[in-house]
A and B are shown apart, each in its own frame.
Chain A
Amino acid sequence: MKKQPGMRESATFDRDVIHEIQRAAEKGIYDIRGWGAKRKLPHFDDLVFLGASMSRYPLEGYRESCSTAVVLGDRFAKKPLHLDIPITIAGMSFGALSAQAKESLGRGASIMGTSTTTGDGGMTPEERLSSKHLVYQLLPSRYGMNPDDLRKADAIEVVLGQGAKPGGGGMLLGQKISDRVAEMRTLPRDIDQRSACRHPDWTGPDDLAIKILELREITDWEKPIYIKIGATRTYYDTMLAVKAGADVIVLDGMQGGTGATQEVFIEHVGIPTLPAIRLAVEALIETDMHRKVQLIVSGGIRSGADVAKAMAMGADAVSIGTAALIAIGDNSPEYEDDYNKLGTSAGFFDDFQEGKDPAGISTQDEELAERLDPELGGRRLANYLRVLTLEAQTIARACGKSHLHNLEPEDLVALTIEAAAMAKIPLAGTDWIPGNKSY
C-alpha cells in the first residue's frame, strides 16, 4: 500500500532506516556495498560562478582558446606527467574491476591524453598497454607490488587512504577471486582478501619521507611521487604530505567511491570534498607550495562545472572513479532485467562486492565481463571526458580565463551558508564568509 494522507513517516525512523534495522536484525552483520557516500552533502552544486559582465571580460566561445594542459609532479621528478586535460582516472583495482573495465579506462584516458591509475592487486599487462600515462599505486597490502612495474609506471601513488573509508583497509570477497586475481595477489583462490589499513614498513610522516626516498632511488628519481589521502584532518595531512616529499597530493572526499566497504563507514567517516579542497589549498599556500606540489581532487566530480569549481578553489586537476564507471556502462538501463533479478534497478546498483555486475564491470565472472567491449567502453569514457572538458572550458571562458588554472575563488559565490563556511567562498549577494577568513 502506498503512502496515504494521514500516514506520517518519521523523519528519524524513515522507511530506509526501518529497512536497515530489519535487515540487521535478520542478518546479524553490517551492510557492505560499493559506491561512495549517498547522503545529501554540501557540494559543488552549492557554488555558482560569477560570469564576466561590466568588470570582467569574457573570452569568445568556439573561437578564443582556453587551455587545459597540466603538468603533474615537477617538484622533484625528472619526468613529470604532461597531461592534455586536468581530469584523471582514479585508482581502481583489477580484482574489484574486470580486466575489460580496466582496459576501457586505460583506452578512454589515453584517447584524451590523461592518466589512469592501477589499484590494489598490481599492474596488468593490458592496463599498461592500453594506458598512455599510468600511475602505479603503492598500497598497504602491496598485492602485486613489483619493482619492474614500478619502473614501467609513469608515476607512483602512495595510498594512505581513500575518501570512502579513511582509516580503513579493504576486503575483496572470495567470490571475486578468480585464478588470475589469486595469482597476482599470492593468495589461494576463493578466500576473502584483506587489504591492510596501515603500510607494513613505515609509520608516520618521518618514515614516509624515507620510504619516498627509497622509491625515488629505485626509479632513479624519474617518477613523480603522489600521496593519496582520504579527507579528514586535511589541513595537517596536506602539510605532512608536503613535508614527506610528495610531488603531488591526491585528495579524496567522502563522496569518493569504493569497491566494497561497510555502509556505516562510507556514510559516517570523513569529510565532504568541498571543505577538504579548501583545507588542502590553505595548507599548500601556507607552506608556499601551492602550484609547486600539485593537488588532485576526487570525490563526487560529475560534470565540467564540478571540474571548474574544484580548480577555481585551487585544485590543479581532478580525478574521477564512479563517474568513469558509469560512463563505460555501470548501472546502464540496458541491463534493467538483470538488475531486477539482483533485487535492484539501474541507477541503484551498488553491490560491487558480490561480483555479479550485469554490466561486466565490477566482476570477475568471465561471462559477465565479456559483455563489456573495452574498445566501446574506452570510446564512451573518452566522450564523457571530452564533455567534461568542454563544459569546464565554457565556464572558464565565461569568466574570462584563457586556462582552466586561471579560475580562482573570486570567480565563485556560495548558495548556502554551509557551503560558504566550508569552502570559504562568500554567500551570494554578500561579502559574508562564515568565520570571515579568506584565501
Chain B
Amino acid sequence: MESYPQLTLFDLNQETLRDLNLQLHNLTDEDAKNSWKITNPKGKHAIACGLKVPVSVEIDGHAGYYCAGMNQLAEVTINGNVGVGVAENMMTGLVRVKGNASQSAGATGRGGLLVIEGDASARCGISMKGIDIVVHGSIGHMSAFMGQAGRLVVNGDAGEALGDSLYEAHIYVRGKVRSLGADCIEKPMRDGHINDLETLIEASRLDAKASDFRRYGSARKLYNFNIDNASQY
C-alpha cells in the first residue's frame, strides 16, 4: 500500500532539544519524505543541527546559535530570526531564514544554499568554502572574510571590509559597498557570471535582475607571501 508524506509536529515546550535532534538524526532516507514542524523554538541553540537525510524541517519562530549547523541534504526553513552561525559548515541542502540572521551566517559552509530573506549581520559567509549564500537584505562588516569558494549574493548593501583576504569566493552586491577589504576588488560581470547569478536569484526566490549587481573577487596579490605587500595588512 502506498504511504503518503506525513507531518510530524515537535513542540520544544514539551520535549527537549536532545530528543529533537536525536529523532532527526535517526531518520532514514525512507523517513525523509515526511516533514517536520518544530514549534516554540524560543531562541534555543543548535536546533536541527547535524541533519544528514533530505528531510524537510520547518522551525516556527526564532532560533538561537548554529541552527541547521553542518547540514547535509536537509531543507530547513526558519519562520523567524536566527542567532550566530546559522547553517555553519553546511555541506549540502537548503536553509532558508525568513527573518534576519546574526553574525557568521553560513560560516565555513562547503556546499548547499543558504537564503536569508532579511538582513545578515557581520561576517556573513566568513571563510566560506563552497556554499552559496543569498541575502535579500543587507550584510554587515567583514563579510566573506577569507572566503575560499562559493558565491555570496547581496541584494542590499554591504558593510566595511567586504571580502577581506578573499581567495576564490565570488561576491555579488546590488546595493552600496561601504568598503572593500584587503585584496578584494571589483571585477567585470561576464555572461557566465550573469547566468550563475540568475540561477541563484531564481533558487532563492529573490525579485531582482542579475544585471543590476556588481561582482567582487580576489586580486590574488596576497596568495603568496611577499614582503612588498606587508603594508596591505
Where the two chains meet, the residues of A that have a C-beta atom closer than 8 Å to any C-beta of B are 28-29, 141-142, 145-148, 150, 171, 173-174, 185-188, 190-192, 194, 196, 200-202, 207, 210-211, 213-214, 217-221
Contact = CB atoms under 8 A, between A and B. Distances in A.
Given A147-B52, A196-B146, A217-B21, 13 more contacts: A148-B72, A186-B110, A186-B148, A187-B168, A190-B224, A192-B223, A201-B107, A210-B66, A214-B49, A214-B69, A218-B49, A218-B50, A221-B18
B25 A220 contact: yes
Contacts of A210: 45-46, 64-66, 84
Contacts of B155: none
B225 to A, nearest CB: 5
Contacts of B110: 145-146, 186
A142 B70 CA distance: 12
Interface residues of B, number: 42
Interface stretch (B27-35, B125-133, B203-211): B125-133
Contacts of A187: 148, 167-168
Given A150-B70, A191-B223, A201-B108, A214 B46 contact: yes
Interface string B182-209: 0000000000000000000000000000
B117 interface: no
Contacts of A220: 21-22, 25
Interface string B93-110: 000000000011001101
8 contacts: A142-B89, A147-B89, A186-B130, A187-B167, A200-B123, A207-B65, A211-B65, A214-B49
Contacts of A171: 225
B1 interface: no
Interface of B: 17-18, 21-22, 25, 45-46, 49-50, 52, 64-66, 69-70, 72, 84-85, 88-89, 91, 103-104, 107-108, 110, 123, 126-127, 129-130, 145-146, 148-149, 165, 167-168, 223-225, 227
Nearest to A171: B225
Contacts of A188: 167-168, 223
Given A141-B127, A200-B104, A213 B45 contact: yes
Contact of A191 (B25, B50, B84, B224): B224
Given A210-B46, A218-B50, A173 B146 contact: no
A155 to B, nearest CB: 17
Q: Sorted from nearest, which 5 A-B pairs have the closest CB atoms?
A: A218-B50, A201-B85, A191-B223, A147-B70, A142-B108
A311 to B, nearest CB: 35
A179 to B, nearest CB: 16
A201 B130 contact: no
Nearest to A186: B129
B73 to A, nearest CB: 11
A74 B158 CA distance: 45
A173 B17 CA distance: 43
A214 B45 contact: yes
B165 A142 contact: no
Given A186-B148, A187-B167, A213-B45, A202 B50 contact: no
B84 A200 contact: no
A215 B38 CA distance: 21
A202 B84 contact: yes
Nearest to B48: A217
Contacts of A219: 50
B72 A200 contact: no
A194 B45 contact: no
A417 B49 CA distance: 52
A207 B25 CA distance: 24
B213 to A, nearest CB: 24
A141 B21 CA distance: 26
B146 to A, nearest CB: 6
Nearest to A218: B50
B18 A217 contact: yes
B65 A194 contact: no
Contact of B65 (A186, A196, A214, A218): A214
B89 A145 contact: yes
B69 A218 contact: yes
B90 to A, nearest CB: 10
Contacts of B149: 186
A174 B224 contact: yes
Contacts of A201: 66, 84-85, 88, 103-104, 107-108, 126
Nearest to A185: B148
A173 B225 contact: yes
B127 A147 contact: no
A347 to B, nearest CB: 28
Nearest to B127: A200
A204 B10 CA distance: 32
Contacts of A141: 127
A217 B224 contact: no
Residue of A141, A145, A201 with most partner-chain B CB within 10 A: A201
B126 to A, nearest CB: 4
B45 to A, nearest CB: 5
Contacts of A196: 127, 146
Contacts of B107: 142, 200-201
A145 B128 CA distance: 12
Contacts of B227: 28-29
B106 to A, nearest CB: 10
A147 B72 contact: yes
Given A214-B45, A214-B69, A142 B21 contact: no
A194 B25 CA distance: 34
A211 B83 CA distance: 12
A173 B223 CA distance: 10
A52 B225 CA distance: 57
A200 B126 contact: yes
A191 B146 CA distance: 13
A389 B55 CA distance: 50
B49 A146 contact: no
B22 to A, nearest CB: 6
